[in-house]
Structure 1
Amino acid sequence: MRRIACFPAAAVTLMLAAAPALADAPKVVVSIKPIHSLVASVMQGVGEPALLVRGGASPHTYTLKPSDAKSLSTADLVVWVGPEMEGFLEKPLSSNARKAKILTLMDAQGLHLLDAREGGAWESHDHGHEHKGGEHKHEAKGHDAKHDHGDEHDHDEVNTHIWLDPANARRIVTLTAEALTAKDPANAEAYRTNADKTLGSIDALDAELKAALVPVAGKPFVVFHDAYQYFEDRYNLSAVGSITVSPDRRPSAKRLSAIRAKIAGLEAACVFAEPQFEPALVRTVAEGTKAKTGVLDPEGADLAEGPALYPTLMRNLAASLRACLGA
């Protein structure tokens, strides 16, 4: 007959107390889908960050919900681009997220930033500033910040779609891992391992996109708004204008006429819409020209959130450009 071992209740309690406890993941809130994807990649196996701007919503027109405010009030870490991208978040961060560390990416060191282009019909593909050496200081909403740049600019003069340069995506991953490790040292090894894996994936993605986009380098095209400058700069692409200066304001008839003339004069091969905004404007601009129309999505409106979103977003941009520009 087998004997069943019995342990006193006190002994069981001591055994459980001696077992290592799993560290609770910090509560992380991220503003938009591409940044959320990179943060989620670093947090895999430890926790999942909350996302504010979900689905096909645009940060340019988003309104904070009560559930968002609740998430911010309990957050340990909030990751966002900055007030020029997510204006809806500026005041709630100071009122609702008082306990959280705020990682403002536009204020972080080591990012490659490009000057915003003026107007809607750009005279050339030369951005004027490479910003790859020296230090760049600027003031933004009362904060002094240094960047990897060479001269002075206000945030309002800088393009904020920073994630569309894989070099910036790498830096965002590193910054996220550092912030998470500081908040949650018990899971530091997991964050470092995930970050290293993600950095390797970004490098492979970058090489893939460089090869895929060679056939369309230099072909002129027009975008809905100036969201793709980092992608263009990285892969030698040639956007010549945008339909809107700001995606939350409808362009005037005069502006549409000027863009149509630009398309015809430069023989732009394609005019791109975005899924979050009115496609009729793109048809209006392309009417009477030889340009085809396509769709570019800089934020992953139709993609499921999570670690896979960022590489899928970047591949989709490359595929759309190749399809519409005739590669």
Structure 2
Amino acid sequence: MRQSPLKVAAVSLLAGSVLALAACGKGAGGGTTPDPNANPDASVEAVAAFYPLQFVTKRVGGAHVNVAGLTAPGVEPHDLELSPRQVADMTGAGLVVYLGGFQPAVDDAVAGMDKAKTFDVATATPLVDHHLPAEGEDADHDHDALDPHVWLDPTRLAAIADQVAAKLGELDPAHAADYTTGAAQLRTELTALDTEFATGLQTCQRKELVTSHAAFGYLADRYGLNQIAITGITPEGEPSPGRIAEVAKYAKEHGVTTIFFETLVNPAVAETLAKEVGAQAKVLDPIEGLAKDSTGDYFSVMRGNLTALKEALGCG
């Protein structure tokens, strides 16, 4: 069947936009981003690979732990490239908190470090395969593209916090009880957030969550939503024309009103698809990092996501 000129134009623009995305996704910093609330008398100097891990380590560690970040605000973390200074900062840290498989440069640097001074948060909660099959690929095709975005399920982030507390307690036994208390307090807040999401998304008119890339699998699994992503786990992936047409058809058939894009990537893909299907394009934040001018934190961004979801999905 011959495609309409509008669909052909949309496909061309979408594909070109994703190619541009790949060119701007990488970033390298001079050194780590210092802890804005650093304590000169802290017991542990830690380095966290990207924002959610920096957030949880600081909340658990409190004043006893300074937590510097490898990924600067406003930088998309998937393809972080480390400078020699950042590698030196990691080597000199008392603890490096990272997510194995998410940032290859970080994995390479950690491989040469003392294992007692590193913590892979993927060991605290099992990663799930939310792989988007390529065109013509069997849905159960075997591969190793596990979804790293575990922090978007508050219950999984609570499990990570518990293990961060245990690791800090091993490194700094004198304050182990404080780390346990910090993790417990964070768990209480995350449990409340989980309840807010479960209640807020319980009576929605739609369950279809259409996103620019497959970052929201854990959130969808937790709250009974159906994630439909234009591209796969990493935002640099280029969707095929067949995939674009497939998502457009699905969105029209299910009355999708919103196509979501992310804060740290170009919105052109989502905006073009939204125009094609008669929907809006809006932000849904995967919280891989904060924007440069952001004054929020994990909780405020998650609650902003909940508001956006309730509006998009017609939740009562």
* TM-score bucket (shorter structure): 0.7 to 0.9
SS of residue in 1 equivalent to 2:65: coil
Partner of 2:121: 105
Partner of 1:222: 210
Structure 2 counterparts to residues 1-327 of structure 1, below 5 A: 24-83=42-101, 85-95=102-112, 97-98=113-114, 101-108=117-124, 111-119=125-133, 156-216=144-204, 218-239=206-227, 241-245=228-232, 246-299=234-287, 300-302=289-291, 309-327=297-315
Closer, same or farther in 2 for the Cα pair 1:99/1:254, shift >3 Å? closer
Query: 1:304: how far off?
Result: 7.5
Distance in 1 between the 2:312 and 2:294 partners?
26
Closer, same or farther in 2 for the Cα pair 1:317/1:112, shift >3 Å? farther
Highest RCO, 1 vs 2 (Cα 8 Å, sep ≥ 6) = 2
4+ residue segments displaced more than 4 Å? 303-306
AA of the residue aligned to 1:46: H
SS of residue in 1 equivalent to 2:231: coil
Query: 1:23: how far off?
Result: 7.1
Distance in 2 between the 1:304 and 1:33 partners?
14
More helix, by proportion? 2
> CA offsets, 1:228-286, max 9 Å, x none?
111111111222x2111231233333332222122223322321011111211112212
- The unaligned stretches of length 5 or more in structure 2 are 1-39
Query: 1:120: how far off?
Result: 7.0
Q: TM-score, normalised by structure 1?
A: 0.74
Which protein has the larger Cα radius of gyration, Structure 1 or Structure 2? Answer: 1
Partner of 2:37: none
SS of residue in 1 equivalent to 2:260: strand
Distance in 2 between the 1:75 and 1:304 partners?
27
Distance in 2 between the 1:291 and 1:315 partners?
23
Q: Is the 8 A contact 1:42 1:191 kept in 2?
A: yes
Name the count of aligned residue pairs.
270
Closer, same or farther in 2 for the Cα pair 1:103/1:222, shift >3 Å? same
Distance in 2 between the 1:288 and 1:160 partners?
30
Distance in 2 between the 1:200 and 1:313 partners?
18
| Percent identity of equivalent pairs | 28
Query: 1:100: how far off?
Result: 5.4
Q: After superposing the two structures, state which structure 1 stretch, 179-188 or 315-324, moved more.
A: 315-324
Q: TM-score, normalised by structure 2?
A: 0.77
Distance in 1 between the 2:72 and 2:285 partners?
14
AA of the residue aligned to 2:44: P
Partner of 1:138: none
Q: Is the 8 A contact 1:220 1:270 kept in 2?
A: no
Query: 1:182: how far off?
Result: 0.2
- The unaligned stretches of length 5 or more in structure 1 are 1-21, 122-126, 129-152
Query: 1:291: how far off?
Result: 2.3
Aligned Cα RMSD in Å?
A: 2.7
> CA offsets, 1:264-313, max 9 Å, x none?
2332232101111121111221223132221111114327899x722223
AA of the residue aligned to 1:198: L
Closer, same or farther in 2 for the Cα pair 1:305/1:278, shift >3 Å? closer
Q: Is the 8 A contact 2:270 2:281 kept in 1?
A: yes
